[in-house]
Amino acid sequence: MTNHAAVLSALADPTRRAIFERLAASPSAVGELARQLPVSRPAVSQHLKVLKEAGLVSDHAAGTRRVYSVDNLGVGVIRDYFEQFWQQSLDRFSAAASQSFREEE
Partner 1 sequence: MTTRVLQTAVSTEVDVEAPVEHAFRVFTEGIGTWWDPDHHLLEGELAEMVFEPLAGGHIIDRGTDGSECRWARVLAYEPPHRVVFSWDINLRWEVESDPAKASEVEITFASAGPGRSHVVLTHRHLDRHGEGWESMRDSVGSGWSLARFAEVARQG
Q: What is the contact surface with partner 1 in residues (CB under 8 A)? A: 18, 21, 24-25, 27, 29, 60, 62-65, 67, 69, 73-75, 78-79, 82-83, 85-98, 100-102, 104
CA distance 18 to 96: 23
- Nearest approach, Cβ of residue 78 and partner 1 (Å): 5
- Nearest approach, Cβ of residue 82 and partner 1 (Å): 5
CA distance 77 to 1: 9
**What is the DSSP secondary-structure string of 3-25?**
-HHHHHHHHHSHHHHHHHHHHHH
- Nearest approach, Cβ of residue 37 and partner 1 (Å): 11
- Nearest approach, Cβ of residue 57 and partner 1 (Å): 14
SS (H, E, C) 49-81: HHHHHCCCEEEEEECCEEEEEECCCCHHHHHHH
